[in-house]
Amino acid sequence: MAKKIPNNIKKNVLKAISLHQRATADYAQCEEFSKLMSKVLSQLEDAGCDTVADKVMGILLECNPKTGSHCEKSNHVANLTKKLEKYCL
């Protein structure tokens, strides 16, 4: 049975998902999204929420903010974040 995600971590996940929806053409927001998701990953691992941590790791592997360019994988990452959101609701 998967561990329940603590509310403070859920809040950070939902904040990151919302941030990603606005970040596809803004490098600073992409970078903020990536940093927040890294923090969430660490929090999930510490809380023993391994299944969700694996999903966050998958997102981070796809997310690679680049200065001055549109994210080539924004749609794919958006789909992954939607799946992640289901675990947090």
Domain boundaries, the chain: 7-88
What is the C-alpha to C-alpha distance for residues 10 and 67, in angstroms, rounded to an integer?
29
List, in sequence order, the alpha helices (H) in 25-67.
27-47, 50-62
**pTM (2 decimals)?**
0.81
How sure is the predictor about 75, in pLDDT bands with cuts at 50, 70 and 90?
confident
Torsion over CA of 76, 13, 38 and 65, rounded to 10 degrees?
40
What is the C-alpha to C-alpha distance for residues 82 and 77, in angstroms, rounded to an integer?
9
Q: What digits encode the pLDDT tens for the residues 13-66?
A: 989 888 887 766 677 888 888 899 999 999 999 999 999 999 999 999 988 776
Number of helices and strands (H, E) in the chain? 4, 0
Fill in the DSSP letter of residue 4. P
